[in-house]
Amino acid sequence: MHRLTRSLLSAAGLALVLSHATKAQDLLLKPFTLGSKGPGTVAQKAADARAALVAQGFTIAGEYQPYPNADIIVVTNDELKATAAKSERGAFGAAVRVSVTSLNDTVQVAYTNPVYMANAYRMAGDLSSVATRLAAALGRQEDFGAKGLKAKSLRSYHYTFGMEHFDEPSVLAEYASFDEAVAKVEAGLAAARGGVTKVYRIDIPERKEAVFGVAMKAPTEADRYMDDQFIMSVIDFKDLRSTAHLPYEILVSGNTAYALYARFRIAISFPDLSMMGGNSFMKIMKSPEAIRKALVRVAGGNK
């Protein structure tokens, strides 16, 4: 009788575990999380966010004001870097981008959803504990930015047929060594080649990898398709702003510099953006190549 009872309880427990696992797999993930929304100033809300993030164990890697009424704080921690080190090109997920955006006299504090990004970047872990720390620091009112994608779909995501996946990045330049690669990228960013400058650098432990966050500002009107403000003015138009899409990244891995091609990198933040229409990918059709060429130039590669 006792053996039967134990068997029944074990079966019930297994069913519960499987049920939870299935629910987790079926959960629809969205790219951004709204922490808070209310009155205030960007400067004060950003200062509050920085203090709260540091108190939760995050390190400020860099900060970027891409246009008026917007501030982006880039953070990392040991878990993000350790998880990034466990998978190929996982360094693209080594940072969380926190945005403070003022819209219609209301300040939105939002951040990239680490669970969504961990799956999009095929990382060896879901970074759920990072999400818990972010929620403790900044709050969590709702996830937004898409109707939602399952983890399995994110790990093989591309916007549509013929467009790039995560494992099809652009090769920007190749060098003789990792040290030379990092030095060349640093020099290019310091010189603002192609209108690209440095926001942050995160080194990945126990790997010859470093990820750079970069700001892109068009040197001339003719170069506007690579410009952060121009691109966001077209695609970031909803009531909850996806400012934390920025900044873009360059990954130095070994002796090679890479970047995620924009048809993947933009689409993973805006998976529901329409192909045609007023606020659509068609309006920035020239941006993927313009971004690639600018990043090649700053990395010292051959366009």
Alpha-carbon distance of 137 to 131, in angstroms, equals: 10
* Domain regions of the chain by residue span: 28-299
Alpha-carbon distance of 154 to 121, in angstroms, equals: 8
Q: DSSP letter for 87, please.
A: S
Q: DSSP letter for 29, please.
A: B
pLDDT one-digit tens code per residue, 56-80:
999 999 999 999 999 999 999 999 9
Token pair listed for 240:
């909850």
Range 167-191 burial, b when 16+ CB lie within 10 A, else e:
eebbebbebeebeebbebbeebbee
Token pair listed for 142:
């709702």
- Three-state DSSP state, 241: coil
H or E segment at 71?
A: strand 70-76
- CA of residue 42 relative to chain centroid, distance: 21
Alpha-carbon distance of 295 to 303, in angstroms, equals: 9
pLDDT in tens, the chain (303 residues): 444 444 443 444 444 433 334 455 579 999 999 999 999 999 999 999 999 999 999 999 999 999 999 999 999 999 999 999 999 999 999 999 999 999 999 999 999 999 999 999 999 999 999 999 999 999 999 999 999 999 999 999 999 988 999 999 999 999 999 999 999 999 999 999 999 999 999 999 999 999 999 999 999 999 999 999 999 999 999 999 999 999 999 999 999 999 999 999 999 999 999 999 989 999 999 999 999 999 999 999 876
- CA of residue 78 relative to chain centroid, distance: 17
DSSP annotation string for 234-266: HH--SSS--GGGPPEEEEEETTEEEE--HHHHH
Residue 227, Cβ neighbours under 10 Å: how many? 23
Please tell me the predicted confidence (pLDDT) of residue 302.
79
Domain 28-299 has CATH 3.30.310.70: yes
pLDDT one-digit tens code per residue, 230-282:
999 999 999 999 999 999 999 999 999 999 999 999 999 999 999 999 899 99
| Residues contacting residue 129 through CB under 8 Å, at least 6 positions apart | 79
Against a cut of 0.85, is the pTM above it? yes
Kindly list the distances between the CA atom of residue 266 and the CA atoms of 205, 262, 287, in Å, as whole numbers in the listed order: 27, 5, 10
